[in-house]
Amino acid sequence: MDRDPDHKAWMSLRLSRVLDDIGANRRVVMKRRDTFLLREAIETLTDKLDGLNSTMFHFGSQSEGSTTPGMNSDIDMLICSVGINMMSEWADWEAGRNNLLMVKEESTPTQHYWLQCIRQDFPEPVRYNGQEGTVPYVDGRVFFSNKIWQDEGKRRLGKRFVSSGPSISSTVEWDFVFAYKCKFLPSEVERWFDRSRRGHWPTPKMLQDARDCSCFLLPDGHFESMNKKIEWRISPSQIERILMFSLTNVQLKCYVVMKMIKQYINEQCLSDFSKLTSFHCKTVMFFTIQRVSPAEWREDRLLQCLSYCIQTLQMFLLKGNCPHYIISEVNLFEGKITRREQNSLKEIVGEFMNCILPILFKIRMDSLGMRMQNPQSSIMERRFTVIRRINNGLAVELIKHTSLLFLRIANKVSIPVHIQRVFAALYVMEDDDNTHALSRYERLAMCILKPHIYSLLASIISSYYIEHDISYRQELFTLYERSFDTDVASSRLKLASMLYCRGELQKAADVLNDVERRYDDNVKALCGCGTKYEGEEMSELLSEITMTDWNYDSIIRKVALCVRFTRSEAFCVPPILLYEMNRAMHDEVQQRTGSDEFWMDMAVVDSRQYLLYMQYLTYGDLGLRLRQLNAFQNLMDCLRSEENIRKMHHFETAANLIGHCWEMEGNLEKALSLYMSSISIVPRNNAANCHIRRLINNM
């Protein structure tokens, strides 16, 4: 105690423990990184299947693992188009390609370039001749506008369009940035490697890895520039990722607390026009790690390490310059914090230097201050609960996002070139010689997507065989068997549906019985169509998964995705579901938003309800009346409680199927009541509108 009169070591250990409790521990950090690196690989692969030539990257706090549940961090995705040849000099020109030359003028701000359009047939600039009034040009030279993605976003998203800097989005949960990759590292970045350094960081190995990285050109002009519509900003995000991934557990905890302090300062001390950003905090961390000895970064010195970071920020404020860590000529305060606000912030930061604990006690995010003052409080969630919620949330969103991405592929399989591309991709995935050079995440992405591809192809081929009365081969069942790893039920239900449509009722019943055995109370319904519903939080759906490391194979055995049929699979579905593929009345197609434009042209139904409906049909055709009535009763029970209804993702389709069952039972009034209930929940783009008209005409 005499050596630590202010109890800083004790309070540092308490702060470290609190951060462990709210998910800023090494295990959760690595889980976040693994999840988002895997998502990158899955997103890139699905884009290739869709015929798009782009590579996806997740940057920011989610992929770094530098976030907590209370931060509500969005997901940052950089979409790098590789279809354009970026030229740093004339020798880089390639015939037959879209070529853009990186141009630096005297007036071009640091970190920015103009992209000049170059001809495809000859290495000469495209000249402006007046025929296209919207093309940006300077001195007769044509330049590529950085507003192209924003204009496209406004056209497609309409009122839902949101833009902040180079990012565009339709929701607060995501930020999309479209970018191009530099063929070589720009000179501004190259100078960073040659800079003299003191200390032990970055290490030579990190610098070597950083040299293999690419830089991106983001559509973001300088805020004071006269030519900001044609300026593209250099972003060394991949190098920054290497730096962030090298941080120790204590350094990462320090960064997380810095972001919490940043949020407190923004809310309490700064105006709406001046904000500290997470990138300011990251830059402060980089410079602090570089100057502070590695021996200082210990759990029992966490408060002292925070003080070092505050010192770095104070130094930047005194100079009025927060230099970019890699491109030092850039002042990160410009356009973010006014000089007047910097002076105010300098005084506030100076107070933190005396004692940092009071500010920590005031932080409400993740109840950090309360946990620091009273770590044994009964109102706090225990570490196990928080970590389990985080892990479960990551797992659920990975499954949903993968299913949503493949939805885009499935929606286009009626186009011959797309089905050929899917077949070709499957051939590549099955060839070990083509996959041995891929990264671990790329190979895992292929393993995850293959069952979805098998399921789609098996059903499309089956539909073609049924339509043309062709006898199927054993290889078709092999495709179905390989598709079973999508989840517990959906692929098996597609097999049962195909067997029913072929008239092989007993085989269909056997498959349905197998699905029923697998679909126990621990299985949770998930939707990969982008639909929303109220009720149980998604992160709680897999409560049985422990806080230990999970793997994808264990998760898919606990979830049931929606069953989806494209129009190319029309002969593998009961006739009543064909109405779901044509659910729009009049101009209702124009009212679809987001992912609706993909799944609403399909027949989509929750697995549980489709299982019961298929049992009703199959047992009825087999003459098993008691079992048919039992399936019907179970199907109706799905709508008998608000809790069950809230857990459904496609309530309108389930209600339509029950209405059809009442039709087959001969009770048209009950059927009409179900169709009306369906419309009351989903009034537009609902096949119930067609069912009501059909029913009234029959009556």
Q: What is the pLDDT of residues 5-33, one digit of tens each?
A: 567 899 999 999 999 999 999 999 999 99
**Do the domains spanning 1-20+247-380 and 574-699 agree at the CATH topology level?**
no
C-alpha separations of 652 from 520, 534, 603, 685 in Å: 24, 15, 12, 10
Whether the per-residue pLDDT at 549 is higher than 60: the answer is no
Whether the per-residue pLDDT at 237 is higher than 90: the answer is yes
Q: What is the pLDDT of residues 192-206, one digit of tens each?
A: 998 888 778 999 999
Q: How far apart are CA 322 and CA 313, in angstroms?
A: 8
Grouping H, G, I as helix, E, B as strand and the rest as coil, residue 678 is: helix
Whether the per-residue pLDDT at 533 is higher than 50: the answer is no
Q: What is the mean pLDDT of residues 588-610?
A: 86
Domain boundaries, the chain: 1-20+247-380, 74-244, 385-561, 574-699
Lowest mean pLDDT, pick from 584-588, 638-642, 664-668: 584-588
pTM of structure: 0.91
pLDDT averaged over the chain? 88
Q: What is the pLDDT of residues 489-505, one digit of tens each?
A: 999 999 999 999 999 99
Grouping H, G, I as helix, E, B as strand and the rest as coil, residue 386 is: helix
Q: What is the pLDDT of residues 169-199, one digit of tens each?
A: 888 788 999 999 998 999 999 999 988 887 7
Say if CB 406 and CB 528 are below 8 A apart.
yes
Residue 542 confidence (pLDDT): 54
C-alpha separations of 599 from 49, 155, 404, 581 in Å: 18, 21, 9, 9
Percent of the chain with pLDDT strictly greater than 90: 61
Residue 187: partners with Cβ closer than 8 Å, 6 or more residues away? none
CATH number of 574-699: 1.25.40
φ, ψ of residue 560 in degrees (nearest 5)? -125, 115
Q: How far apart are CA 599 and CA 527, in angstroms?
A: 11
CATH of 1-20+247-380, one of 1.20.1260.10, 3.50.50.60, 3.40.50.720, 1.10.1410.40: 1.10.1410.40
Q: How far apart are the first and last CA of the chain?
A: 89
Residue 665 confidence (pLDDT): 95
Percent of the chain with pLDDT strictly greater than 70: 94
Tokens encoding 443:
């190979």
Q: How confident is the model at residue 536 (pLDDT cuts 50, 70, 90)?
A: very low
Q: What is the pLDDT of residues 116-161, one digit of tens each?
A: 999 999 999 998 877 555 578 788 889 999 998 888 888 888 888 8
